[in-house]
Amino acid sequence: MLTKTGRIIAIIMLSVFLTACGRSAEMVETPASIHLERGRNYKEVIEDFEDKGFTNIRTETIEDLVFGRSFRNGEVEQISVGGDIEYDSGVKVPADTEVIIRYHTFSQKSIDEAEAKKR
């Protein structure tokens, strides 16, 4: 069994360990809400999130455009901040919160068909 002094030292060491592990991540604010970001180019939206300090940004494509008939290539459709697709601007979240930016682009089939027509 630990002596009284040994227990106190163990409690202090455990407290220091738990405090170090429990440090909160850096908090950042969300940029403009999805209502303002929708329709912009995804690269610009990525920059907005990076400028605010977000570190966990990824993209997903929506391959629904037809080559030669669509002009929305790269246009943002949806943004998810920590799973929330209706987020507001100025909301504080941890910097490592996952941000997923979904944008419109051409399908490979559409690109292949356009290249075949050029030949």
CB-neighbour burial class of residue 55 (10 A; exposed 0-12, middle 13-18, buried 19+):
middle
91 φ, ψ to 5°? -80, 130
Of all residues in the chain, the percent with pLDDT exceeding 90 is 57
Q: What is the mean pLDDT of residues 78-100?
A: 96
The answer to whether the CB of 56 falls within 8 A of the CB of 99 is yes
Give the domains, in start order, of the chain with CATH numbers: 25-118 (3.30.10.20)
Position 20 pLDDT exceeds 60: no
What mean pLDDT is reported for the chain? 84
CA 82 to chain centre: 7
Of all residues in the chain, the percent with pLDDT exceeding 70 is 78
Q: pTM above 0.75?
A: no
